[in-house]
Structure 1
Amino acid sequence: VTNQVTLENGPPFISSEITELEQFNPKTVSMVQDLVKDGAVETLKKYFSSRMEFGTAGLRAAMGPGIACMNDLTIIQTTQGFCRYLEKSFSDLKERGVVIGYDARAHPPSGGSSKHFARLAAAVFISQGVPVHLFSDITPTPFVPFTVSHLGLCAGIMVTASHNPKQDNGYKVYWENGAQIVSPHDKEISKAIEENLEPWPESWSTEAALKNPLLKDPYQDIHTEYFKAIQKHCHHRDINKTSKVKIVHTSVHGVGHAFVQSAFKAFELNPPYAVEEQKDPDPEFPTVKYPNPEEGEGVLTLSFALAEREGATVVLANDPDADRLAIAEKQENGQWRVFTGNELGALLGWWMFRCWKQQTSDASVVKNLYMLSSTVSSKILRAIALKEGFHFEETLTGFKWMGNRARDLLDQGKTVLFAFEEAIGYMCSPCVLDKDGVSGAAIAAEMISYLATENISLSQQLTSVYTEYGYHMSKNSYFICHNQDVIRSLFERLRNHDGQKNSYPTECGRFPISAIRDLTTGYDSSQPDKKAVLPVSSSSQMITFTFSNGGVATMRTSGTEPKIKYYTELCTAPGNSDVAYLKKELDELVDAIIENFFEPQKNKLQPKPE
């Protein structure tokens, strides 16, 4: 392999590195040798030209050879950098330690798997005398932030690519506060990785690490403590015990099955019917094109079939690492309705507040109550908060922001009751400062069981929520784009409207624009000083347009997928139920956005798959 290929803007392969890799992971080396033999220079460039970027979402990339992929070497290098950064940040790192969890992903061609990567990360920390709580089996992502908080650890790592395609994997990092990292941690960790690229002698020694007394298995303790903690949110045990509601659950070939069964048991709910073909972990995800329940009906086909056979009326679905939750309900006409993330946010927000209110004798403490959602999510929680007297705050996109804000509020003695993002992520318990599809499934099932005693469906309850607090109609989607130049060009065109620098559009078709917030540049036309209040990030694209009809539209790039996403919402005042007009107006607004903002680059974008 050595010296046969020199990459543009990069060094030739180095024989010592290849020899070391061959010793520890011959499969990865074999992949490179085959590519060299085939003269696949473009593929080799893709793998070796630039290193994966470590950001606030950690790492997420395909498993395979090279510095652009997830493999043994890049996991070791990443963990060495992270370890050095933690040593600088915590003088008591060697007393407190870290936790590492993993999902069931595997990539046989390269020999990579979440379990193997987790063990390599453990070996790196143990080689430096840092105690490691390494789960002995697969866990849902929420177990890692729970463990960080429960055991008072310095940090946590979850090896998962969540709902990404099967070839991908990821490295998600939590700080001592139990929330995902935010800047400047990402930049400092990235710098430390670059300074620690040479593998330390014992970093490969997974077998020795597994026998080291510094290694602990938190599985049984955390399993017990987590389900004990979420039981605090069980308010209708008597109804749960006698509920006749039949519920189907799918874990979509991920880790969720056993944990959701345990959550139902903790709430004394009847166990949900499990989709047999999808209940056991399978890294091939054989029954679905995309292992993401956010994609809707295509992922839920087998769930609907099982529900029809068993006479079930509700389907719950987790993504493969069980931090997200989707819900579908059979309607009176026999069709299935898959609720959007925003609709579930409205239902769960209503339910969490209702339960809190029933448990609280002193109504004045509502002033210490908070709910959060991301800036691209529905503002239904704001409408509920305005009427009920509690606080609502919006954060930047992603639970890293909501989790950190929730921790700040909890540290001030406030109660954070609920947080959500439209991408079917819900935090129903502050014992996990991240989205949690396991506790969410049990809490949703209790809500469904309670409503059934009143002969009310989820759809009917959602209508009641909107009638009381105002209809909030959303329409969200995305385009796929792998070309960064195309993405930049699309957003720069919006910032330099009609060729004038720093000039944004004043209308979109027939819809006048009343305000613009650009969180890439920090511009916000609604603020007196024209400066955005929310944090700004020049490394990602995000522009929000507010229209004179009250509509709001945000366009942004994804941090983990090659997507340009758009989010729109239009609302009515409480009591106004002209849904037909609202839908027509929103449809026309979205059409105008696609025609005016996306059209010039449309032939270079792929629409969302059907």
Structure 2
Amino acid sequence: MPHVFYIYPVCRGTCEGVIQHRRPDRPPSPPLLQNPRTRAQLDSLLVSGSHQELRSRLCSRMGFGTAGLRAAMGAGFNRINDLTVIQTTQGLFSYLSGFFSDFSSRGLVIGFDTRGQEESGCSSERLAKLTAAVMLSRNVPVHLFSSFVPTPYVPYAVKKLGAAAGVMITASHNPKEDNGYKVYWCNGAQIASPHDKEILRCIEEQLEPWSASCWDQELVERSPLTRDPLSHINRCYMDELSSLCFHRDSNRHSPLKFVHSSFHGVGHAFVQEAFQVFGFAPPIPVPEQKDPDPNFSSIRCPNPEEGESVLELSLQLAQKEDARIVLATDPDADRLAVAEKSDRCGWKVFSGNELAALLGWWMFFNWKQNHPDPADRDGVYMLATTVSSKILQAFARIEGFHFEETLPGFKWIGNRIHELSKSGHSVIFAFEESIGFLCGSLVPEKDGVSAAVVVAEMAAYLHEKNLSLSQQLDNIYQTYGYHLSKTSYVTCHDPSTIKRIFSRIRNFDGESSYPKTCNGVQIVHVRDVTTGYDSSQPDHRSVLPVSRSGHMITFTLQNGVVATLRTSGTEPKIKYYTEFCAAPGKSEPSQLEEELAKVTTGLLDEFLEPERNNLIRRFV
């Protein structure tokens, strides 16, 4: 049956209150009056005659992307706001209550970051309380953190408390205008298929708010079903974090100084406490960035992956304090950037792949100290996403443990960790190249808090040996082979352009024919996980799961370079990844860099250049 929208132009409410989604066979009920700020946004668009903008906001809905929703805050069905969060939570309740017979006793974990937007009133805390209100209105207990927490605390709490699922209100390192609704399954991993599709179906069946209670964020204060897990979960997390500390006595006496920036987000207090757990003096905070600020007023972009350009204040402070290591967690503290001062060439900002080489080496080095029997290695795994460096594969090949690749996104890593743990195997390190690291298996999610203090201990240990992080990275490459990589992106806001780009690649030399060369270098294998094609397999079927939610094509070239083009699941970007993996002692880095640059240039000029007018390059 077709659906219609009832509009109440004289009501003082929100777009959520004045525009209600209903079946035409049901009479409209009086509008709900909730958030005047989002209503004011619609009024302004009406007065200004911005009909196209109104159509965009009101005639399309957000879809479930990487583990949930992510969009700009504001009025409209394709924005993050009171109504869309209530609708999403109603759908989530509907699915969970049908899936878990004991959902009413297990409950839901809910956390939030420090985001907010004055013009819409859509703070993360408010949206978390509305999420709780929907569950409480159906007598489901909620474990709602009383204050902001790092994203990893939500999946950690889901597992620790035995909850059915978890929701984190965050947009991580996205621009300040955005927010998100991230969902975790009972195993602590981000939701994956088929749960995501079924939750989306349930959302679409539960669009009308059930009652006024769903809008009542004060319900969390009155309900006996509201529980605050903050103190308990923080204590348990810090206790378990100590299992990753291998040299506490040495840490107490380390002369190294560390600077930490929390990028105006949640990380400051948690990183400070983690350092205390490891026996370190607390890191020196960047004063302009240690306290929450939803406007991210001191940085142009709240993403530490951008490198030196967004670490300016951190590096200046480190220079002033004579600190050799800078640590930066992103606003929800699930990612970590690291920079090291060099006596010869200023500051070295490590890429995600370089940090993974160091952390992978460190975690295995310490594991091996406690497990001298080589037979024990058969139960040990390291994981990485397929667009990340193959350096862990080189480790595994020489050291005798297992390495596996997953599709991009930590939801694949988290769910694989769960599967391996059920069969008695242990994952001692996992990462994705976008500075997302998991040391040990404390939580099946990337974790910037634990990674920060593990890097600090590794740096302190190496300092005792008169080695810097950069010097140890070079030692690793000499032992396991140089792995030089380049990762960047182009911005594209037009979905039709993205579709044309990937369609052209898939029909490059005629229908269903991929490119044969890249800048004159022969392409020997093509893998397209969007279609399930892999020319390297006897049946041409990809070993990795088919993923139709985005585009991803990988080219293996004759010179040894592996190159991938893929769309981002959370941002308007086409990302590209190239890596040259050399055998130990076989090549000079300068030669590898030349070959890598040649393929990277070809990837951009030959595969993306025809749409250059619709793309914004970051750098080459």
Q: TM-score range by the shorter chain?
A: over 0.9
Contact 1:318 1:326 in 2 (8 A): yes
State the 1:575 CA deviation.
Answer: 1.8
Contact 1:467 1:576 in 2 (8 A): no
Query: Partners in 2 of 1:140 and 1:263 — Cα distance?
Result: 13
Q: How does 1:1-400 map to 2 (within 5 A)?
A: 2=7, 14=19, 23-201=33-211, 202-400=213-411
Q: 1:20 to 1:485 in 2, by over 3 A?
A: farther
Contact 1:57 1:559 in 2 (8 A): no
Q: Which residue of 2 aligns with 1:549?
A: 559
Q: Which residue of 2 aligns with 1:430?
A: 441
2:302 counterpart SS class: coil
Q: Which residue of 2 aligns with 1:7?
A: none
Identity of aligned residues (%): 55
Deviations 1:282-318 (A, max 9, x none): 0000011110000001110000110011000110000
State the 1:519 CA deviation.
Answer: 0.6
State the 1:15 CA deviation.
Answer: 7.2
Query: Partners in 2 of 1:159 and 1:396 — Cα distance?
Result: 24
Contact 2:110 2:168 in 1 (8 A): yes
Query: Partners in 2 of 1:332 and 1:589 — Cα distance?
Result: 33
Q: 1:15 to 1:350 in 2, by over 3 A?
A: closer
User: 1:107 is matched by which residue type in structure 2?
Assistant: Q
User: 1:204 is matched by which residue type in structure 2?
Assistant: W
Q: Aligned match of 2:471 in 446, 453, 460?
A: 460
Note the aligned Cα RMSD (angstroms): 1.7
2:405 counterpart SS class: strand
1:513 counterpart SS class: strand
Query: Partners in 2 of 1:333 and 1:397 — Cα distance?
Result: 36
User: 1:147 is matched by which residue type in structure 2?
Assistant: A
Contact 2:21 2:208 in 1 (8 A): no
Contact 1:56 1:183 in 2 (8 A): no
User: 2:444 is matched by which residue type in structure 1?
Assistant: L
Number of aligned residue pairs: give it. 603
Q: Aligned match of 1:518 in 499, 523, 528?
A: 528
Moved more, 203-212 or 179-188: 203-212
Contact 2:519 2:598 in 1 (8 A): no
State the 1:362 CA deviation.
Answer: 2.6
| TM-score after normalising by structure 2 | 0.95
Contact 1:82 1:193 in 2 (8 A): yes
State the 1:194 CA deviation.
Answer: 0.4
Contact 1:21 1:29 in 2 (8 A): no
Contact 2:483 2:582 in 1 (8 A): yes
Query: Partners in 1 of 2:255 and 2:401 — Cα distance?
Result: 34
Query: Partners in 2 of 1:81 and 1:451 — Cα distance?
Result: 51
State the 1:56 CA deviation.
Answer: 3.8
Q: 1:15 to 1:399 in 2, by over 3 A?
A: closer
Query: Partners in 2 of 1:171 and 1:15 — Cα distance?
Result: 21
Quick check: 1:608 aligned with 2:615? no
Query: Partners in 2 of 1:316 and 1:212 — Cα distance?
Result: 40
Quick check: 1:571 aligned with 2:581? yes
Moved over 3 A (4+): 1-4, 13-22
Query: Partners in 2 of 1:89 and 1:395 — Cα distance?
Result: 26
Query: Partners in 1 of 2:266 and 2:587 — Cα distance?
Result: 41
Q: Aligned match of 1:539 in 546, 549, 559?
A: 549
State the 1:270 CA deviation.
Answer: 1.3
Contact 2:110 2:145 in 1 (8 A): yes
Q: Which residue of 2 aligns with 1:408?
A: 419
User: 1:409 is matched by which residue type in structure 2?
Assistant: L
State the 1:443 CA deviation.
Answer: 0.7
Structure 1: unaligned runs, 5 residues or longer:
5-12
Contact 1:97 1:130 in 2 (8 A): yes
Deviations 1:208-249 (A, max 9, x none): 232111100000000100000110010001110000001100
Q: 1:583 to 1:211 in 2, by over 3 A?
A: same
Query: Partners in 1 of 2:372 and 2:395 — Cα distance?
Result: 20
Contact 1:56 1:186 in 2 (8 A): no
Query: Partners in 1 of 2:102 and 2:75 — Cα distance?
Result: 35
Query: Partners in 1 of 2:615 and 2:456 — Cα distance?
Result: 39
Q: Which residue of 1 aligns with 2:454?
A: 443
Q: Which residue of 2 aligns with 1:8?
A: none
State the 1:42 CA deviation.
Answer: 1.7
Contact 1:230 1:429 in 2 (8 A): no
Q: Which residue of 1 aligns with 2:13?
A: none
State the 1:369 CA deviation.
Answer: 0.2
1:419 counterpart SS class: strand
State the 1:55 CA deviation.
Answer: 2.8
1:290 counterpart SS class: coil
Deviations 1:434-491 (A, max 9, x none): 0000000111100000000001000000000000000000011111001111001000
User: 1:109 is matched by which residue type in structure 2?
Assistant: E
State the 1:333 CA deviation.
Answer: 2.1
Query: Partners in 1 of 2:99 and 2:433 — Cα distance?
Result: 34
Q: Aligned match of 1:595 in 581, 597, 605?
A: 605
Query: Partners in 1 of 2:449 and 2:144 — Cα distance?
Result: 20
Query: Partners in 1 of 2:490 and 2:29 — Cα distance?
Result: 42
State the 1:57 CA deviation.
Answer: 2.4
2:383 counterpart SS class: strand
Quick check: 1:475 aligned with 2:475? no
Contact 2:108 2:166 in 1 (8 A): yes
User: 1:598 is matched by which residue type in structure 2?
Assistant: L
